[in-house]
Amino acid sequence: MSITEYQLSLNEIYPRQATYGYQLAPDGRRLSFVLQRDKNVEEIAEKDHRKIRVTPLADLCLISSEGIYPQPLTDSGNFFNPAVWSPDGKWLAFEHEERLQIMPSVGGRLRTLYKGGLYHPPAVQATSTVVAGDAYLGYPRWSPDGNSILFAIREESQTMLRLVSVDGRLQRELFRMDGYIIGWDWSPDGDKILITTRGENGWVGNIRLVDVETGETLALWEEDNYEYQKPVAVWTPDGASIILRSNRSGWAKLWIATAEGGDPKPLTSGDWDDYAFRLSPEGGQVVYASRAGQVGSGDDLWVASLSDKKSKRLTTHLGLNSPLAWTKDGLIYYWHSSPTEPGDLWVAPANGGEARRLTWSAPLALERKLRAPEEVWIPNNEGMQIPALIYRPVYYQEGQHYPPIIWIHGGPTMDARIDFTPYHSWLANQGYIVIIPNFRGSTGHGVAYMAAVSGDGLGRNDLNDVLAAGRFARTLPDIDLNRGVGVGGRSWGGYLTLMAITQAPNDFSCAVAGAAIADWRIQQSQTEVRYYDRWLVDGWIYERIERATERSPVSYVERIQAPLFIFHGEEDRDVPFAQIGSFVERARQTGVDIEYKTYPAEEHSNRKPENQQDVLDRTRNFFQRHLQPWNLLDNPCGNQVQY
């Protein structure tokens, strides 16, 4: 293959096909899931603005537990919410066309139980493998006797849990709160509901019990540092205990508590994160995803006994793994993804043994374009070691040299992991060494590491780690430094990019910033995630005006020396568009090459394929113009031609 044949296409970077929402039938012989085969993308009017609406073209399907070819249950293309099995396996419940509906599991006529859109917690909306094992806690949930269904709706600032009987005749509100309900789980006897909530401030959550008969609630535990790993809680099959994931130790760990409340006891321990989990049918064991035993950012499945709390490793599977179900036959179904695999369904014996793959989602043509990154540690100027990933071109050759780009992930409370991230491969395959630091503020490295970006660490600790990555790039033996080091990122990555080229104008030779925070005074006052920005600034901007000014790139825009490509969606409400125009206007006054592109109707992320492609093309051309060695074909000027 030539180098051009290794370039990823738009549909490979932003896949329009996916499978998600796997749910095992009670008999353990079938799994339901959603098969998304495409997307409808359209521009719509909304009051005085225009927005992009993306509608998946998807249907419900069944697959046997042996992985035989999937059987479609629907063919209309508008079933894109996961389905949940009734306890007897005869019915599937789901939201369809803003209604709670059920249908026979063998296919047939739909029955409407509730008219009105259901509320889907963020973990349900995401398809990331990190949360895949937790998402079911936010689906509609059948009562243990199969006579009613529990679901959530949202009105203005409140979230409500509602019960509806399977004949649709009896409906009632069970619980209401200001804030958000993230997940819910029935007690085995059907008398109580265990719910996980998030307060209006977004940073504190609670685990609560709700009595189904009376509606009375009892707060069991409060969860701080909510944004590190979302707390979740479930009943054991005997109803005597509750298993929860909490950040209270400074890491995401599993805990066990009695149903009466009281202080939970640690089930797992160690300075690493434990993620999604599922209990065995008899309730004596739990399988969970964990970074234990990993030198980098991957995880594996582990099985722990609830009685002696001893754990054993179940898989050694490079990438991310998330448990989906544990059958009565002793099989564990799980979701696996890696830098070269978008994600597939696997099954492994709970007592150990060889795992089997049940689905294949990556075409061979795509696998040939992907290369797993190298995990490294970067020393910063404070004596710390910062974890990072290095992506190299799939056609990389020893002895060759490639220009470096520091690419900064968003968030900041996110984590670049050994997962399927085709954008990074696309950028590397343009002919670069791409370094992605997990700067302070990233998750996955403990609560204290994440919290280092809040308050005085805002735009300081994280920026220092990005600058350290730039210095580290210059030490690599396969780096071409003839035209310097590039830097770029979106969202928080865009913010740190602007901070880097204004605070350290000599460190980078060119920069790409998308959806970037430029002025905290506008950012916090107009964003739709104000609670989050309040945590970052450690107060409201009128309380922290000096910090807001000092940590705003616009305050130092006159220092810019590096050429900059900057882009933003005009309807962005996460990082408000209003702040970027002034920054660009003042940057242009410096005489530096500024390429500026806005996208009408787009919000925080471009969703129109033509706009996604436009950003890719402009990013590729920009870095090629400013980082790659010149040749006879690139950078023509005037009437220059090749003879």
Domains of the chain by residue range: 7-117, 371-626
| pLDDT at 633 (0 to 100) | 59
| pLDDT at 635 (0 to 100) | 55
Looking at beta carbons, which pairs linking 262-265 to residues 24 or more positions away fall under 8 Å? 264/221
> Could you tell me the two tokens for 60?
């419900």
Residues 6+ apart with CB under 8 A from 304: 254, 267, 268, 285, 286, 287, 288, 310, 311, 312
| pLDDT at 528 (0 to 100) | 85
| pLDDT at 564 (0 to 100) | 98
* Residues 120-156 pLDDT 10s: 887 554 444 345 688 899 999 999 999 999 999 999 8
The rounded distance, in Å, linking the Cα atoms of 149 and 462 is 45
Three-state DSSP state, 183: strand
- Contact at 8 Å (CB) between 301 and 323? yes
Residue 13, H or E segment: helix 10-13
Q: Is the peptide bond before 15 cis (omega within 30 degrees of 0)?
A: no
Burial 131-162 (b: 16+ CB within 10 A, else e): bbbbbbbbbbbbbeebebbbbbbeeeeebbbb
Return phi, psi of residue 488, to 5°. -170, 170
User: 626: which DSSP letter?
Assistant: H
- Reported in sequence order, the residue ranges of 47-179 that DSSP labels E, i.e. its strands, are 49-64, 71-72, 84-85, 91-96, 99-104, 111-115, 141-142, 148-155, 158-165, 171-178
> Could you tell me the two tokens for 249?
């130790």
* Residues 212-240 pLDDT 10s: 999 899 888 888 888 888 899 999 999 99
Residues 6+ apart with CB under 8 A from 108: none
- Contact at 8 Å (CB) between 34 and 58? yes
| pLDDT at 578 (0 to 100) | 95
Note the Cα 543 to chain centre separation in Å: 31
Task: Give bridge partners of residue 303 from the DSSP assignment.
Answer: 287, 312
| pLDDT at 120 (0 to 100) | 86
Task: Give bridge partners of residue 482 from the DSSP assignment.
Answer: none
- Contact at 8 Å (CB) between 512 and 622? yes
Q: Where are the alpha helices (DSSP H) in 481-635?
A: 492-503, 520-526, 530-537, 545-550, 580-588, 609-626
Closest CA relative to residue 624, chosen from 581, 595, 604:
595
The rounded distance, in Å, linking the Cα atoms of 299 and 302 is 9
Count the helices and strands in the chain (H runs, E runs).
Answer: 13, 36
The rounded distance, in Å, linking the Cα atoms of 472 and 555 is 27
Describe the chain by its helix, strand, coil percentages, rounded to 5: 20, 35, 45
* Rounded alpha-carbon distances, angstroms, from residue 334 to 1, 20, 37, 362, 628: 34, 12, 22, 17, 42
The rounded distance, in Å, linking the Cα atoms of 300 and 334 is 11
> Could you tell me the two tokens for 625?
């113009």
In this structure, which amino acid lies at residue 414? M
The rounded distance, in Å, linking the Cα atoms of 142 and 85 is 8
Residue in the structure block whose two tokens are 């909306």: 125
- Contact at 8 Å (CB) between 84 and 93? yes
Given a cut of 50, the residues of the chain with pLDDT beneath it are 125-130, 643
Query: Domain 371-626 has what CATH class?
Result: alpha beta
Residue 278, H or E segment: strand 274-279
Instruction: Provide the whole-model pTM.
Output: 0.94
Three-state DSSP state, 20: strand
| pLDDT at 130 (0 to 100) | 42
Dihedral angle sign, alpha carbons of residues 471, 473, 474, 475: positive
The rounded distance, in Å, linking the Cα atoms of 397 and 375 is 18
3-state SS, 23-85, equals EECCCCCEEEEEEEEEEEEEEEEECCEEEEEEEEEEEEEEEECCCCCCEECCCCCECCCCCEE
